[in-house]
Amino acid sequence: MEFFERFAIPHPSPMIYASMVAIALVSIGILVGITYFKKWGYLWHEWFTTVDHKKIGIMYLISALVMLFRGGADAILMRAQLSGPDMKLLDGQHYNEIFTTHGVVMIMFMAMPFIFAFMNLVIPLQIGARDVAFPRLNALSFWLFFAGAMLFNISFVIGGSPDAGWTSYFPLAGNDFSTSVGTNYYMLALQISGIGSLMTGINMMTTILKMRAPGMTLMKMPMFTWSTLIANVIIVFAFPVLTVALLMGTTDRLFGTHFFTTTNGGMDMLWANFFWVWGHPEVYILILPAFGLYSEIISTFSSRNLYGYKSMVGSMVLISLLSFLVWTHHFFTMGQGALTNSIFSITTMAIAVPTGVKIFNWLFTLWKGKIRFTVPMLYSIGFIPLFTIGGVTGVMLAMSAADYQYHNTMFLVAHFHNTIIPGVVFAMLAGLTYYWPKFFGFMLNEKIGKSTFWLLTVGFVLAFFPMYITGLDGQARRMYTYSEATGFGPLNMLSFVGAALMAIGFATIVYNVYYSYKNSPRNIGSDPWDARSLEWATHTPVPEYNFARVPQVFSSEAFWDAKKKGHQLFKGELKDIHMPNNSGVPFIMGIIFFIAGFSFIFAIWIPAVIALIGIFVCMALRSFELDHGRHIHVKEIKEIEAQYEEVQGNEARSHTTTRV
């Protein structure tokens, strides 16, 4: 009986039971639907076994959007619970689980796959390559991320969600104070998706370093490629720290070791240090690719080259180095003394300098430009002032003596949402709108897109700016309730209103996709935005092999040169193209990892061992497998290219209509 008790929810509520039923119904519905429409074969051949970077990118994109809504539901529940004093919507335990999963889902399972989506979709195209360096590893990365995400998401219906915060500080997250299996989910799900992230890091670095088109030297790479390269360097050096920390946390919880306990020499501060040695670089892993996207978009819609290319690259390199030297600012209040705090206070503030340089470079890119206010551009323009506010409040927090007053308050919550939402989320939505036509062959509706932007911006300001004030008034973060006497009520109500506006804003994105799918014209040509870099030089939607001929590059704006200065991008005869074969192994390994993770979480050792053996068997099979890929022959390429030529007839006309 005790065995089964672990699977029960420790703190059930009608809301959880309702979502259990909803999840079950939706899952059954999906399975029945796929079977009814006989789509299993299609899914397996086209998606589950694919190694095509574009399809993998699209799968990341869909997962990220789904997780955005999962994390958003958590967020709206939190804001509703705090919208007035002594609200009874959620109890303490439930609230703790929700803010924990909100943080983990948004960072690990929304923001990370979102940036991976753009890396996968755009990088090979932008550097003129046919795929990433290790296509099958790329598929494995995705399926590991997906296994981790699913594992984490079933926690709230089986066994209970983690409830120790996304930072999961020990000893609170240890067995003594977190008795349910929730924190096991945290440890294992993050471990599995973390391995996937690490492999993406290796893959992307190799791709960018070795597979660029002829002529594209490092200093001629587009800015998004640069930002991706640096972000992936950070991934490779930061994620192993998380791996070790999670391993120790797991053994503490499952095997009774004493890394972070309060007895037998354990040291709770070690977890906090390791967590943030990974955690701070992690925020730059998210923000740098976002900076890259903004650079592309601002340059495109000002019809100008990016101002200060070299200083843009230099500042990103500097940010990546500094990101490893500031982790202590997450706990100035741990009692390290004035000297340590002073050092980390200075290194933290130093990051403001390269970031400031980037802001000014974007402003100078707009200067003397011809600014078109499209949806991606609106997000980029909104980003500049809002992110500046997020950045300067970061400098305020970096003043360690004052941080004693900001730490653990809503001021901090306001600050990091103020960097992540305009910084990362806006960039992702800008990128989504910008690259949508390239991969789906139609544009998203501009009118609906603009209302999404305004809803999100106004909602964001209303939701988070009041938190700066309540923070200074003494509202600690992570409190599930407060009394009327504190006076936090009205401002929290305002936050709730803002959050509701944001929720409506996110819903309009879904509507926009539906509406545009129905109504948008399909003859948009390959370059609907009048863009500047290589990814727009190929057809829309992109053929499997990306480029029929490998492009020759002369500057960081190869496509712009081709359009304006008559550089010939594609020269020479067509040749056979070598492509990798599809493989079901990554998908199967994802499933096995899921089973292994689940068994570890509930300490059921026999399936755990079997699953681990299964993983090694898959690796062994891969070692012995002979797979030399396949070739697309010239004849076939010519046929495919001819199909695009037909469509191209309409291009001249569509150029004038779709350009905004």
Partner 1 sequence: MKFKSGLLISLMALVTILAGCEPLLVLDPKGPQAERQASDIMLSIGIMAVIVIVVLVILAVILFKYRASKQPDDYEPPHIEGNIWVEVICIGIPVLIVAYLSFVSVQSNYIVESAPTGYENEEPLVIYASSSDWKWHFSYPEQGIETVNYLYIPTDRPLEFKLYSHGPITSFWIPQLGGQKYAMADMVTTLHLGADVPGEYMGRNANFSGKGFAENIFNVTAMSQKEFDEWVEEVHERAEPLTEDVFNKLLEPGHLGQMTFTGTHLEFSPAPEHNHGSDTDDLESNHDDHTSHDTQTDSTNVETDHSGH
Partner 2 sequence: MKLDHTQPLEYSTDQNQLNILGFWIFLGAEIMLFATLFTAYFTLEGRTGSGPTPADIFEITPVLIETFVLLTSSFTIGLGVHAMRLGRKNAMLTFFGITLLLGLGFLGVEIYEFTHYYHVGATYQTSAFTAALLTTLGTHGAHVTLGLFWGLFIILQVKKRGLTPENANKSFIFSLYWHFLDVVWIFIFSFIYLKGMMM
Residues found near partner 2 in the complex (CB under 8 A) = 133-134, 198, 201-203, 205-206, 209-211, 236-241, 243-245, 247-248, 251, 255-259, 261, 263-267, 270, 274, 277, 616, 620, 623-624, 626, 628
Radius of gyration of the chain (CA): 25
Compute the least distance from the CB of residue 183 to partner 2, in Å.
18
236 binds, among partner 2, partner 1, none (CB under 5 to 8 A by kind): partner 2
Tell the residue number behind the tokens 């009692």, with chain if given: 335
Q: Are strands 630-632 and 577-579 parallel, antiparallel or unpaired?
A: antiparallel
Nearer to partner 1, 311 or 451 (CB): 311
- Residues, the chain: 660
474 binds, among partner 1, partner 2, none (CB under 5 to 8 A by kind): partner 1
Q: What's the half-sphere exposure (Cβ side, CA atoms, 13 Å) at 276?
A: 14
651 binds, among partner 1, partner 2, none (CB under 5 to 8 A by kind): none
Asked if 424 contacts 290 with a C-beta cutoff of 8 angstroms, the reply is yes
Nearer to partner 2, 207 or 400 (CB): 207
- Cis, peptide link before residue 171, omega less than 30° from 0: yes
Nearer to partner 2, 238 or 421 (CB): 238
Nearer to partner 2, 142 or 439 (CB): 142
Q: Is 647 helix (H, G, I), strand (E, B) or coil?
A: helix
10 binds, among partner 1, partner 2, none (CB under 5 to 8 A by kind): none
Compute the least distance from the CB of residue 398 to partner 2, in Å.
24
Tokens of 465: 């700016």
User: Could you tell me which residues come within 8 angstroms of residue 547 by beta carbon, excluding any fewer than 6 positions away?
Assistant: 128, 130, 537, 538, 570
Asked if 141 contacts 74 with a C-beta cutoff of 8 angstroms, the reply is no
248 binds, among partner 1, partner 2, none (CB under 5 to 8 A by kind): partner 2
Q: Is 374 helix (H, G, I), strand (E, B) or coil?
A: coil
76 binds, among partner 2, partner 1, none (CB under 5 to 8 A by kind): none
Rounded Cα–Cα distance for residues 572 and 4 (Å): 67
Nearer to partner 1, 142 or 309 (CB): 309
Beta bridge partners of 632: 577
User: Could you tell me which residues come within 8 angstroms of residue 383 by beta carbon, excluding any fewer than 6 positions away?
Assistant: 294, 422, 423, 426, 427, 430
523 binds, among partner 2, partner 1, none (CB under 5 to 8 A by kind): none
Compute the least distance from the CB of residue 491 to partner 1, in Å.
8
Nearer to partner 2, 275 or 602 (CB): 275
Rounded Cα–Cα distance for residues 329 and 346 (Å): 10
Compute the least distance from the CB of residue 546 to partner 1, in Å.
28
Compute the least distance from the CB of residue 6 to partner 1, in Å.
19
384 binds, among partner 2, partner 1, none (CB under 5 to 8 A by kind): partner 1
Compute the least distance from the CB of residue 602 to partner 1, in Å.
22
Nearer to partner 2, 521 or 629 (CB): 629
- Provide the angle, in degrees to the nearest 10, between the axes of the packed helices 112-126 and 182-210: 10
384 class by beta-carbon count within 10 Å (0-12 exposed, 13-18 middle, 19+ buried): middle
Compute the least distance from the CB of residue 553 to partner 2, in Å.
18
Compute the least distance from the CB of residue 310 to partner 1, in Å.
7
